[in-house]
A and B are shown apart, each in its own frame.
Chain A
Amino acid sequence: MNEAVVMSGSVVMPGGVSAEPGMRVYNQKLGMWVFLTSEIMFFTSLIGAYIILRFGGGAWALPAVPLSEGGSPLNIQLTALNTFLLICSSVTMVKAFASIEHGDQKGLRLFLVLTVLLGATFVGIQIVEYTVLAHEGFLPHCSAELAAVVPSCHLFGSTFYTMTGFHGLHVTIGVLCISWVTVKAFRGGYSKENHGGVEVVGLYWHFVDLVWIILFTIVYLI
């Protein structure tokens, strides 16, 4: 084995010799970061379309203005709570990671379960929100009654459901992945030396939270 070679922490190849140092971050983590940059671009297309259509266009329904006066049909209070829940799930996720970094299996399991519950609740509340909005006629293509009251209603509906829908899809996938990690954690699949899976799924989860922080502001509050 070539002792002069710097061990990179990436895949150890047959023969026992390692690779050039590279990013000095193990493969799965680097791969997740690379994937997240593509996700940034994907949400850019959806959020960018919203920004362009809204701010390059005509009148738009404002938040905190009554619906009858052409205000936004979105429920800010409920979604603010939901935003807080998602942020809480980010805390529990990073606490799970911090736990296993110390070898704390119980902490890992507890915080992972909390993360799954909080994430699932977020999705649940969003489904409730969608149901209420749909009932009011706020849809990807608004009802005629609502479109008469809310300016740019069709565009609002189009962009709202596309952005939050795909974000919700990402959250759902995240909940499923974290559930899988949780099951593995309960089976003792992670240790202080070996917990890359927790870190990597955590990165994805924080990213999803980050996107929501942006979305909540520019869709609900502005």
Chain B
Amino acid sequence: MSRRIDYNRIQDNLFRIVGIGCTLFGLLMLGFFLYSVISEGWPRLSAQFFTSLPSRKPEEAGILIPLFGTIWVMVLTSLISIPLGVASGIYLEEYGKKNRLASLIEINITNLAGVPSIIYGLLALEIFVRILGLGKSLLSGSLTLALLILPIIIVATREALKAVPKTIREASYALGATKWQTTWFQILPASAGGIVTGVILAISRAIGETAPLIVIGAMLYITTLPSSPMDDFSVLPIQIFNWLSRPQKGFIINATAAIIVLLAITFILNGIAIYLRNRWQKKVKW
């Protein structure tokens, strides 16, 4: 009898080691990535790197154009996706509860969230680039990414709206406010923290996207800054992809430096989102 219990205990403890090991594996891999990227790319970071145009000589090449492209894309995509996404979320959560159309839209959104990003690229290639004739412009790229992250924003908005207690709504109606007045003046401000968090996470996802932009033809080789939404553009992930495909060591180093910049932007955005989420959760004590 005691032999069996000992065996079980050993098994139990062994698994604890396996469990810790696996958890640490994930963390170790993360640490290892970051280390390999930072150690190789950090020395390359300099004012010259940020302000230079592309060049055939790796030491002279820089990320000015793709960095600007990323910022432009970030702004345009936000402008398109935030109003659309928040409005959709409000409709589904506040207005469309008993609606058959609403439940169809809901299923639709869940499916869209699982569609590979490259398919959005094909959609954009045919419709934005060819049929609407927008070409491989910033506008096409931003529209594509906006559609891609729309499900994320909608879901985040809905979650945030759901968290607002019914009592707020009821109190507002009791005072004679209309549905829209309630939504605009009471619910939205109350859920703003959650919505903003979701939006920032969605944007952070968008700026890391490469595949759909390659499909619509975002150029790997432009030499000028975009000055309007109809211009050709490039973004950081595409520049990284391009430099990675070159065998010269100098370009690989450039790629790692650009990766540091991209990761920095991603982490800062995510950090802001998490900070906001924590602050909002603490503040809102119903």
B is bound to A: no
